[in-house]
Structure 1
Amino acid sequence: MTNFREIAWQGLWKNNPGLVQLLGLCPLLAVTATITNALGLGLATLLVLIGSNVLVSLVRDFVPKEIRIPVFVMIIAALVTAVQLLINAYAYGLYLSLGIFLPLIVTNCVIIGRAEAFASRNSLISSAFDGLMMGLGFTSVLVVLGTVRELLGQGTLFYGAEQLLGPWAESLTIQVWQVDTPFLLAMLPPGAFIAMGLLIALKNVIDRKLAERQPKIETATVTRARITKVN
Structure 2
Amino acid sequence: MEKTVLVMGAGDAIGSAIMRAFAGVGYTVVGARRNGEKLQPVVDEIVRTGGKAHGFSCDARNEEQVTELFAKIENDIGPLDSVVFNVGANVPMTMLDTDTRKFTKIWEMATLAGFLTGQAAARLMSERGQGSIIFTGATASMRGAAGFGAFASAKGALRNMVQSLAREMGPQNVHVAHVVIDAAVDTEWIKGMLPDYEARKANDGVVNPDDLAQNYVWLHEQPRNSWTFELDIRPWNEKW
TM-score greater than 0.5 by the shorter chain: no
Between the two structures, name the one with larger relative contact order (CA 8 Å, sep ≥ 6).
1
Structure 2 length-normalised TM: 0.26
Structure (1 or 2) with the larger CA radius of gyration: 1
Comparing both structures, which one devotes a greater share of its residues to strand?
2
Structure 1 length-normalised TM: 0.26
